[in-house]
Amino acid sequence: MEKETCIIELPRGPTRFRSTSVKPYYDATEEENITLPEFGTVMSPEDPEALQGPLPNALQDDEVLDSITVIPPEGYTSNKPPRSSARNASDVDQFECTSRDISSSTPQIRVFMQEHTAQYMTDLPDPVKYKDSRKKEIEGLTEKSVFEVVPILDIPPGTHIFRSRFVDEVKNEGTSTEFSKSRLVIQAYNDVEKTTVLTQSPIIQRSCQRILASLAASTRKASDTSVYIQDITQAYTQSTSNLHRTFYAHTPEEMNLPTGMILLVIKPLYNVPKAGNHWFKTYHTHHYEKLKMQQSTYDPCLLYTNNEDTGFGIVGLQTDDTLIVDNEKFIQAEEKELKDANFIAKDREELTHDHPLKFNGVTLALQEDDIYLNQEKQCMNLQSVSAESTDIHDTRGKVRKNASTHDQYVTQRARGAYVATMCQPEASFDLSIAAQTTKPDKDDITALNKRIKWQKENSSRGLNYVPLDLDSFKIVVFADASFANNKDYSSQIGYVIVMMDKHNNANTIHWSSIKCKRITHSVLASELYGLVQGFDIDAAITATVGAILNQETPLTICTDSKSLYNLLTKLGTTSEKRLMIDIMALRQSYERREIVEVIWIDGPTNPADAMTKGKPCQALTDLINTNKISIKPMKWVERE
């Protein structure tokens, strides 16, 4: 030893270490009573009257918010070694549960709530209503052992300690089923290590959500199916796997932990990177293994089964919400497996004429035999863009002060595009053009305001899904393009995909209006890129629907370009040789009968015309209003 330096003989030679001494953090002098340093009083964990009494005067000098007090159990000490920060890159995307011993001496959380005083009313409009919901949240997390309360001295030096907060929300506001909901959220937005892990979990694609609606309308009477919503309570915390990384977090102000105690997050919690992946793996595996469901090739969140043991069922996963189309046999199997897995869930809600459902921001309503989708609430959140700085409201009611014209433009076009891509295809072109604008001028703002005004005036307008004849069922894609019609002389391409039957009944499944990413030197090139994009999606949808219904589903493509039609149905060539790769791929699918028909249609009857031009398209309007489509073929090929 040399003063505070010790020399240790190691195999590679003598090594100097600096010696330190640490004063014990906590020393219980009595077995029954524990002194809480910040209170300056002694409380017995076994004395219920002490726990139910008022807080000490030291806390009452300041007006206290809702407080959640942690009482360490008797004889509590923490000798737990810190976790190693080293990780193997190969473990980043693994979901297997890692075992972790949870000490039985972990401090127990007891909740004390107080009313907010008037000085806080400006920040929290009605804080009293969240008292019970916050208490329920903490009790639920404690019961599931989502976190441990550990001394801060046990944390290795240099460890990032995150903050946490409560997110409060009123569900079904203004209705008879209104209730308060609170979530404890980790503020991990500044986590520098999240770039090394997969942080995004799958959610159901919008086209698959509309496939579910169309098949639900078509099978309600034919197969005696029903539509349900299943909501899992505190979904992330019910994951079967623990976090692979060490997360420490300070508690929010509403929780009153003893001095020097913080949270060690063990299981996935809200806003922790990769937490959604843990839950998706858990819930997806449950459907795959227990209910014998198959995953669609197009979307991992769309699952289906037609097994003799489990019955007929189609499931769409959206985090903790599940949209289900099933028969009675699948209902019984699903309820049994949910109970056996010990998942805590709310009672399932059934779609009826008097009870619409809300799923992924869309309202599903049953109107006679049809299923109607709209986003009326989302449309009412739209605001016109002002030429001056003004306050704007977000979807949760919070106010963004003095937003500039540019910020308003970006916000409102994003909100409008969300509605347009969900259930208002007529607005897709205008909002696609707005998305290409980086520095909006007066004309750009006027054009966007005109479209937003239309969306607000037609807030109840959505998509209707009618029953289709499954025996004559087919999927048709309409493609179109406008050559060099954008400001930068790029081309706009788009498509509309529908399910239809021999009676010309049709349901809109998917659509797109985007700027062509490739440079085009001719109208033919633009038309081809639009058709290729539509065919790629249509082929995936056709394969998915065919697997769900367990039947062959014909695929038809329609174009209003005669030159493109001739190029596909004849063995000609083109001077633009780079187009031949896409043309040969389409020809091969046509020869293999993956494409059953290629039809040249009259331009005014092409609903995809609305995806590439700003003028109104009567074909798309009639499709949405009547769920009828009339294909006017100009040329086609008769095939044996």
pLDDT of residue 99: 36
Once rounded to an integer, what is the mean pLDDT over residues 497-521? 94
Instruction: State the DSSP code for 253.
Output: T
Mean pLDDT of 296-300: 89
379-392: per-residue pLDDT in tens? 988 999 998 888 88
Residue 273 contacts residue 265 (beta carbons within 8 Å): no
pLDDT digits (tens, 9 = 90+) for 81-109: 444 444 443 333 333 333 334 343 444 44
* Amino acid at the residue 96: E
Q: pLDDT of 600-618, one tens digit each? A: 999 899 999 999 998 888 9
Question: Which single residue is written with the structure tokens 């049809």?
Answer: 370
Q: Is the pTM of this model over 0.85?
A: no
**Exposure on the CB side of residue 134, measured as CA atoms within 13 A:** 25
Which of 2-11, 13-22, 378-387 is modeled with the greatest confidence?
378-387
63-67, 191-195, 447-451: range with highest mean pLDDT: 447-451
* 634-to-143, 155, 501, 561 alpha-carbon distances in Å: 68, 75, 20, 11
Separation in Å, CA 437 to CA 24, 204, 298, 413, 447: 62, 29, 31, 10, 12
What is the average per-residue pLDDT within 259-265? 88
Q: What is the mean pLDDT of residues 115-125?
A: 39
Of the listed ranges 38-52, 442-456, 467-481, the least confidently predicted one is: 38-52
DSSP sequence for 197-251 = S--PPP---HHHHHHHHHHHHHHTTTS--EEEEEEBTT-GGG-SS--SS-EEEPP
Least confident stretch, 108-122, 283-297, 310-324, 564-578: 108-122
Mean pLDDT of the chain: 81
Domains along the chain? 130-201+240-265 (no CATH), 206-235+276-353 (3.30.70), 375-465 (no CATH), 469-639 (3.30.420.10)
